[in-house]
């Protein structure tokens, strides 16, 4: 089981989770609306081959919810604060979706801190279907559920066909209890600010082109976010890039944790 830690940066508490391992330190950055323990299945598949660190991003999980300050630069600074708290000078960075975009910024702006990079189904130019789905689910979701059964039914209806372990993970870490009901841990106001404050497409491509470390772009072949054409263009833009496609939807770490873990270990070592 992972260990819970916390560090405070500029008044915002950042909770993060660590799994011990023999390999290089590896920072895991989750997508919008998720949480550090999203990576549990991936961590199980890694099986101690890497030392893993997974923060709850600001506005998510158990981390703080500042009134403003949800720009990409804030998430980058948070990631560095977590690495500094653990005295990690250089890390492999794995980022999914929103976390993938933040990992691009981290590698581009702080190259000395990133040993290698895995960008998981994150797109500088996302497909409209994925963007529209994220907007709908994150800002139009019910605020609370009467009990676990109602929450589980909602998860299965809006995100079908996952293994039972995925839904159990969501129930455990995406929600908290409040007055006998379940409410989301991720803050809706924060999610709206994040979506409004996204970097322009051209800035994302510029950041990608500045990355010098070995980089693996991972795409789910059934993704509604990252197209095949954009994934191939990402690899061409990188100084040392390669592409891996897996039979998965957007949530590759949930659909294919073993394959993603094995590829990350190879890149890291």
User: How high is the pLDDT of residue 231?
Assistant: 98
Sign, Cα dihedral of 153, 225, 205, 269? positive
Report the C-alpha gap between 228 and 234 in whole angstroms. 10
The DSSP 8-state label assigned to residue 74 in this structure reads H
User: How high is the pLDDT of residue 197?
Assistant: 85
User: How high is the pLDDT of residue 1?
Assistant: 87
CA-angle at 137, arms to 198 and 36, nearest 5°:
70
Burial category of 247 from C-beta neighbours within 10 Å (exposed 0-12, middle 13-18, buried 19 and up): exposed
User: How high is the pLDDT of residue 198?
Assistant: 85
Q: Which structure tokens are listed for 112? A: 């000395």
Report the C-alpha gap between 203 and 201 in whole angstroms. 5
Report the C-alpha gap between 119 and 123 in whole angstroms. 9
Give all domains of the chain, ordered by start, each with its CATH number: 3-127+199-268 (3.40.50.1820)
User: How high is the pLDDT of residue 212?
Assistant: 96
User: How high is the pLDDT of residue 83?
Assistant: 98
Report the C-alpha gap between 35 and 264 in whole angstroms. 20
DSSP codes joined into one string, 153-195: HHHHHHS-S--HHHHHHHHHHTEEEETTEEEESS-HHHHHHHH
Burial category of 89 from C-beta neighbours within 10 Å (exposed 0-12, middle 13-18, buried 19 and up): exposed
User: How high is the pLDDT of residue 76?
Assistant: 97
Average pLDDT, 10 consecutive residues per value, the chain (269 residues): 96 97 96 97 98 98 93 96 98 98 98 98 93 86 96 96 96 96 95 90 96 98 97 98 98 98 97
Strand ranges inside the chain, DSSP E? 3-9, 12-19, 25-29, 51-55, 91-96, 114-120, 144-145, 175-178, 181-184, 215-220, 241-246
Report the C-alpha gap between 54 and 18 in whole angstroms. 6
Model pTM score: 0.97
65 to 13, 217, 256: CA distances (angstroms): 9, 30, 31
User: How high is the pLDDT of residue 16?
Assistant: 98
Q: Which structure tokens are listed for 169? A: 């993970």
Report the C-alpha gap between 234 and 125 in whole angstroms. 10
């Amino acid at each position: 089981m992972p260990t819970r830690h916390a560090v405070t940066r500029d008044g915002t508490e950042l909770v993060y989770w660590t799994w011990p391992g023999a390999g290089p330190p590896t920072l895991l950055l989750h997508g919008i609306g998720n949480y550090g323990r999203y990576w549990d299945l991936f961590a199980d598949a890694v099986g101690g081959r890497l030392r893993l660190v997974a923060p709850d991003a600001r506005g998510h999980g158990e981390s703080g919810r500042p009134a403003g300050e949800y720009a990409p630069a804030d998430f980058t600074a948070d990631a560095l604060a977590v690495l500094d708290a653990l005295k990690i000078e250089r890390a492999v960075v794995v980022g999914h979706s929103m976390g993938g975009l933040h990992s691009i910024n981290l590698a581009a702006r702080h190259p000395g801190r990133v040993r290698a990079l895995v960008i998981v189904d994150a797109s500088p130019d996302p497909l409209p279907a994925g963007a529209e789905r994220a907007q709908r689910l994150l800002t139009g979701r019910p605020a609370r559920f009467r009990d676990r059964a109602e929450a589980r039914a909602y998860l299965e209806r809006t995100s079908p066909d996952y293994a039972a372990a995925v839904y159990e993970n969501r129930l455990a870490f995406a929600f908290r209890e409040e007055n006998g009901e379940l409410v989301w841990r991720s803050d809706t106001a924060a999610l709206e600010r994040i979506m409004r404050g996204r970097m322009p497409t051209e800035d994302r491509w510029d950041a990608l082109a500045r990355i010098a470390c070995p980089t693996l772009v991972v795409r789910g072949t059934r993704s509604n976010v990252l197209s095949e054409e954009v994934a191939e263009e990402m690899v061409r833009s990188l100084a040392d890039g390669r592409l891996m496609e897996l039979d998965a939807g957007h949530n590759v770490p949930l659909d294919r944790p073993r394959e993603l873990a094995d590829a990350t270990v190879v890149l890291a070592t």
